[in-house]
Structure 1
Amino acid sequence: MSGLRTSRTRLAGAAATVALAALALTACDDGTGVESEGTRKPTGPTATASPSSGGSSPASPASETPSAPSAPSASSATGGTASKRPAPSGTPVTCEGSTTRTVAAPLSRPVNHLLLTVTNTGGKSCHLYGYPAVRFGEAQAVPPAIEDSRPQAVVTLGPGESGYASVNLSAADGSSTDEHTVHSLAVYFHGRSGGESVGTGAHPPLPSQGVRVDDSLAVTYWQQSLDDAVRW
């Protein structure tokens, strides 16, 4: 009987030892007790590793993805904002003072010359026929045109475009007579026939000191380009 009790005691002690070992395997490492299988912490490496002391942390995939380029603005696509001229409408008319702006400016070269610039301010194209009929001061007659300056085609100005003519005020060598100073200018526009003025005239201001004119006064025909206007 004593041998049977000894065997039962040994079996009970072995079972207790196995149970304690199983509990030790599931014990928390913070000493709080047993942890359930559903909340056990992973024992493998963590998802994000700390950077080593000798290098920088690798960029995340999101930061390496380039952002999509933004669409160019309207101003950048065209190189800036450009002013638009109105499109011409209807049949071209004759240029005259009410639909144009005229500017008179002395030229340094050629000497003793005045440049006339006429800009179409209307909504239709207009024709500059012949040459400007200019009148300085109280003159009763208009000066003649330089025949060699006649263009091959009628000058036509779209809305916002300019035409040009130059005025030879006086002889550069002083060989002409009747030299005097004038302070006002009127510019009239010829019609298709060239023998009459049409519409209203223009009265561009002259420099405050006036300009000197003599009996060699002459004008060019209207020109499409500035370079052609200052050749004579």
Structure 2
Amino acid sequence: MRITTRSASRTAASSMVVAALALVGVQAAGQTASAATKDASSVVTCTTANTTLTVTEASRPINHLLLKATNTGTKSCYAYGAPILRAGADAQAPLAWVKGSVPQAVVTLKPGQSAYAGIGTYSPDGEGGATEKTLGVLFTDKKEGAAGSEKTLKLPNGGVFFNSAAAVTYWQDNPADALVW
């Protein structure tokens, strides 16, 4: 009888330990989930208000520019989709987005980090064109609509030729990926 009592006591004690560990695991998971939610809620959308933008001529490939956005804010920001670009003050439509350049995940910039977009300015396949002196830049929100206000940048070398084949990549986390397209 004594052996049976010990065995039953050990089984009950083991069940209590398992239940206690499960409760601790659930509490820890809840704390982790709430911390992740808190962190995610503190991330904002990148806009011209919380970034610095620069545009430079790429040495390779030819006919390409590199757009760089650096987070100057105090919170991390999401660089959603691709920038909305207007080549020249009289542009009737934004540059096309290179659909094949969609990254695996939204580019997240911690304060001081940068995102990059490659801009193909023209191609022999394109039509028309003109030398433009400015580039209007808008960020997008997660629904690919305009976010914030437009920033106008001066283009390098006093102007850059754009034709109908001009296009921009989605934001990338490094310049090499942005210039592959």
Amino acid at match of 1:166: G
State the Cα distance separating 1:89 from its structure 2 match: 10
* Equivalent residue in structure 2 for 1:177, among 118, 127, 149: 127
Higher helix share: 2
- Counterpart mapping for 1:41-80 below 5 A: none
State the Cα distance separating 1:206 from its structure 2 match: 1.1
Distance in 1 (CA, whole Å) between partners of 2:136 and 2:92 is: 12
Query: For the Cα contact (< 8 Å) 2:43–2:75, is it kept in 1?
Result: yes
2:138 aligns to what SS in structure 1? Answer: strand
Which structure 2 segments of 5+ residues have no match? 1-38
The yes-or-no answer on 1:126 pairing with 2:80 is no
CA deviation profile, 1:96-135 (whole Å, cap 9, x unmatched): 0011000000112100001000000000000000001000
CA deviation profile, 1:133-158 (whole Å, cap 9, x unmatched): 00011112112111111001000000
Name the residue aligned to 1:141. Answer: 93
Name the residue aligned to 1:108. Answer: 59
1:177 aligns to what SS in structure 2? Answer: coil
Query: For the Cα contact (< 8 Å) 2:121–2:161, is it kept in 1?
Result: yes
Name the residue aligned to 1:161. Answer: 113
1:203 aligns to what SS in structure 2? Answer: strand
2:177 aligns to what SS in structure 1? Answer: helix
The yes-or-no answer on 1:92 pairing with 2:43 is yes
Greater relative CO (CA pairs within 8 A, separation 6+): 2
Amino acid at match of 1:161: Q
Q: Go from structure 1 to structure 2 and tell me whether the alpha carbon gap of 1:89 and 1:149 turns closer, same or farther (over 3 Å shift).
A: closer
Query: For the Cα contact (< 8 Å) 1:143–1:217, is it kept in 2?
Result: yes
The yes-or-no answer on 1:151 pairing with 2:100 is no
Distance in 2 (CA, whole Å) between partners of 1:151 and 1:130 is: 9
The yes-or-no answer on 1:197 pairing with 2:146 is yes
Pairs aligned (count): 142
- Counterpart mapping for 1:24-39 below 5 A: none
1:228 aligns to what SS in structure 2? Answer: helix
Query: For the Cα contact (< 8 Å) 1:90–1:124, is it kept in 2?
Result: no
Amino acid at match of 1:110: P
Distance in 2 (CA, whole Å) between partners of 1:139 and 1:90 is: 36
State the Cα distance separating 1:204 from its structure 2 match: 2.0
State the Cα distance separating 1:180 from its structure 2 match: 1.1
- Structure 1 segments of 4+ aligned residues over 6 angstroms from their partners: none
Could you say which structure has the larger radius of gyration?
1
Distance in 1 (CA, whole Å) between partners of 2:76 and 2:125 is: 42
* Equivalent residue in structure 2 for 1:223, among 169, 172, 175: 172
2:171 aligns to what SS in structure 1? Answer: coil
Higher strand share: 2
State the Cα distance separating 1:185 from its structure 2 match: 0.9
Amino acid at match of 1:193: K
State the Cα RMSD in Å.
1.6
Amino acid at match of 2:127: T
Distance in 1 (CA, whole Å) between partners of 2:103 and 2:138 is: 19
Distance in 1 (CA, whole Å) between partners of 2:169 and 2:65 is: 11
